[in-house]
Every structure is written in structure tokens, then in C-alpha cells.
């Protein structure tokens, strides 16, 4: 990929100082953004229940089902920008949190995280029905959603301070918010173009770095890739195309290296040899490699 052919603006990632290409709202850009694939997010309560039943962790199924029924009733008739029933969003957030191994109250709070802000339900209602822990988690997420999100550097710094403060009170609030942002980014294509860009910038500058600090690599990398896709769909598509063209070669290389490492561990007579795994760099990580380290893709 040629670095010289990319137009770079003065917008930077705060930690890595990575330049983000400036894309204008011309017809080509609009077409590229509209062509971003739909995310398959038809989450159902059956999917959530199935995930819980196959999990080694113990959950209070009755409490989770009660939270779902409360949220489903509260959000009845509401739609997402995609046209889907609103309840799909809290189900998606809850599913992500299940994958992270979060507890029952966190799952309940995920299902209920928008009811105070978007419906007639109150924190008192949640406390009475689901307990103080769930109510406090929902309150924390609701407060985070009310933080102004201007793109000025000073305001972004203020956002970070408030988010870090929320993290220090109960880390679960921030993990719910990250999962909430992840699903919103997965469905961002249905929002207006300007909203797409400001949300992607905020995600890149605030939420991805926090996911990194919390050690949630999968969410951090997906947030970065999704943000990058909206900030520069052309560079994203170019890197994606190159990765696809070298897929078999890359997979074979990873397989060979894994075999060599596993063989070495076995030869050292470990009582329980560690599991060896390999991964491909994310698209945004490759972008940073090109622009920061000035290496070929």
C-alpha cells in the first residue's frame, strides 16, 4: 500500500499520534460508507439463554429473564436507526458481556441499561425489582451517556477524565459502556454521515484506548477497526483486499510457527504444555505499522 497516495489530516490518536486520513463527503466517500456490510445482529433471548446454558459460569436465570421481560416491555414499539426492534441492542450488549464472563447483575444491567434514559422507568423501579447493585450499574452507564462529546481536544480530555472516574467507582460500568459502544459501532452505518465521523473519532480517541487499558483486546481491536472503516473506508478496503489475497499464505505461516513452538514445549518435558495460538494483526494495527513504523504492509 502506498503511503504517499493517502491524504492525511491533523486529527491524531492521542496516545500513538497516528494520523487519521481526512475523508470528505463527496459522492465516492458516501458510496463507500454505504457499502460497509451489515452486521448480523439479530440477537434473540433464545440466543442469550443458549449461551448461558452452555457456560461454565453459574447465572441466576430467573433474574436475567425478569430483566429481559422488563426491558422488552419498556422498549416496546421503539426502533433502532436500522429499523430493528430496540430490544435487539440490549440483547447484543448482554451477549458481549456473557462472552467476557461477566456476572448476573452485569448481564441484567446490560439488558436494562437504556430504560431509564429512553423510557418511563426509574432507578427506583430498578432498585425495587432487581436490587441496588443493578440500579447503580444502570445509573453509572446512564451518566456516562450524558457526557458531552464535542470533538475539541479539551472536551475530549474532559470526557476521558469523567470516564476514568466512573471506572474507579465500579469497573463493570465501563465494561458495559464498552460493550454498548461496540454494538453502536457495528450498526453505525445507519446514522447520518456527520454522526458516523464524530462517533468514530470519539471511539478511536476514548473508548478503544480504555479497552486497551482494561486488557480487553478483542473489543479494543474491533473498535479500532470499525472506527477506521468509517474514518477512511478507502484505506480500510485496500488493506482488507491485500489481507484476503494473502490469506492462505498467512494461515500456513502461522500454522508452521505454532507447530514449531508446540514441538519445543513438548521437547522440554512440560507437565502441562501451554496452548499455542496465533493471530493476524487487525486492519488498524497494520495501518499504524505503515504510518508510524514506515514499514511495508
Task: Quickly state the pLDDT bin for 15 (edges 50, 70, 90).
Answer: very low
pLDDT at position 263 is 73
The count of structural domains within the chain is 2
Q: What is the pLDDT of residues 57-103, one digit of tens each?
A: 999 999 999 999 999 999 999 999 989 999 999 999 999 999 999 99
Q: Which residues of 132-147 are buried (b: 16+ CB within 10 A; e: fewer)?
A: ebbbbbbbbbbebeee
Q: For residues 248 and 186, state if they share a domain.
A: no
Active site residue 120: no
8, β-bridge pairs: 21
Q: For residues 45 and 171, state if they share a domain.
A: yes
Query: Average pLDDT of the chain?
Result: 83
CA 6 to chain centroid: 26
Closest CA to 114 of 126, 128, 97: 126
Domain that holds residue 256: 239-292
Among 39-48, 139-148, 158-167, 252-261, name the one with the lowest average pLDDT: 158-167
Q: What angle do CA 24, 26, 32 make, to 5 degrees?
A: 90
Q: For residues 63 and 144, state if they share a domain.
A: yes
How many CB atoms neighbour CB 29 within 10 A?
A: 15
Q: For residues 52 and 175, state if they share a domain.
A: yes
pLDDT at position 71 is 98
In the set 118, 125, 133, 139, the catalytic residue is: 118
Phi-psi region of 294 (alpha: psi -120 to 50; beta: other; left: phi over 0): left
Task: Quickly state the pLDDT bin for 133 (edges 50, 70, 90).
Answer: very high
pLDDT at position 129 is 98
In the set 117, 244, 251, 252, the catalytic residue is: 117
Q: For residues 178 and 51, state if they share a domain.
A: yes
pLDDT at position 11 is 40
Q: What is the pLDDT of residues 103-125, one digit of tens each?
A: 999 999 999 999 999 999 999 99
Q: For residues 156 and 275, state if they share a domain.
A: no
Task: Quickly state the pLDDT bin for 279 (edges 50, 70, 90).
Answer: low
Active site residue 117: yes
Q: What is the pLDDT of residues 233-253, one digit of tens each?
A: 988 888 888 887 766 676 677
Q: For residues 148 and 252, state if they share a domain.
A: no
* Spatial distance between the Cα atoms of 266 and 173, rounded to a whole number of angstroms: 42
Q: What is the pTM of this model?
A: 0.82
Task: Tell me the CATH number at 95.
Answer: 1.10.3210.10
Q: 5 Cβ partners below 8 Å, 6+ apart?
A: none
Amino acid at each position: 500500500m502506498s503511503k504517499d497516495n493517502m491524504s492525511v489530516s491533523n486529527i491524531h490518536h492521542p496516545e500513538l499520534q497516528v494520523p487519521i486520513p481526512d475523508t470528505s463527503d463527496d459522492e465516492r466517500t458516501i458510496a463507500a460508507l454505504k457499502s460497509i456490510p451489515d452486521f448480523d445482529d439479530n440477537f434473540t433471548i433464545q440466543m442469550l439463554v443458549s449461551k448461558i446454558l452452555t457456560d461454565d459460569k453459574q447465572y441466576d436465570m430467573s433474574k436475567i429473564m425478569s430483566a429481559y421481560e422488563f426491558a422488552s416491555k419498556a422498549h416496546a414499539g421503539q426502533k433502532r436507526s436500522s429499523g430493528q426492534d430496540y430490544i435487539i441492542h440490549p440483547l447484543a450488549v448482554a451477549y458481549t458481556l456473557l462472552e467476557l464472563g461477566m456476572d448476573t447483575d452485569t448481564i441484567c444491567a446490560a439488558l436494562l441499561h437504556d430504560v431509564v434514559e429512553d423510557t418511563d422507568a426509574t432507578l427506583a423501579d430498578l432498585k425495587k425489582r432487581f436490587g441496588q447493585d443493578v440500579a447503580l450499574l444502570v445509573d453509572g452507564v446512564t451518566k456516562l451517556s450524558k457526557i458531552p462529546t464535542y470533538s475539541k481536544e479539551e472536551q475530549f480530555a474532559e470526557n476521558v477524565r469523567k470516564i476514568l472516574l466512573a471506572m474507579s467507582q465500579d469497573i463493570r460500568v465501563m465494561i458495559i459502556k464498552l460493550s454498548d459502544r461496540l454494538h453502536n459501532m457495528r450498526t453505525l452505518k445507519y446514522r447520518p454521515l456527520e454522526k458516523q465521523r464524530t462517533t468514530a473519532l470519539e471511539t478511536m480517541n476514548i473508548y478503544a484506548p480504555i479497552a486497551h487499558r482494561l486488557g480487553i483486546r478483542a473489543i479494543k481491536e474491533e473498535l479500532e477497526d470499525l472506527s477506521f472503516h468509517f474514518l477512511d473506508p478507502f484505506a480500510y478496503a485496500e488493506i482488507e483486499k491485500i489481507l484476503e489475497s494473502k490469506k492462505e499464505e498467512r494461515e500456513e505461516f502461522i500454522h508452521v510457527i505454532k507447530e514449531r513452538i508446540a514441538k519445543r514445549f513438548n521437547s522440554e518435558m512440560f507437565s502441562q504444555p501451554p496452548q499455542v495460538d496465533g493471530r493476524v494483526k487487525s486492519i488498524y494495527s497494520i495501518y499504524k505499522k505503515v504510518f508510524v513504523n514506515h514499514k511495508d504492509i
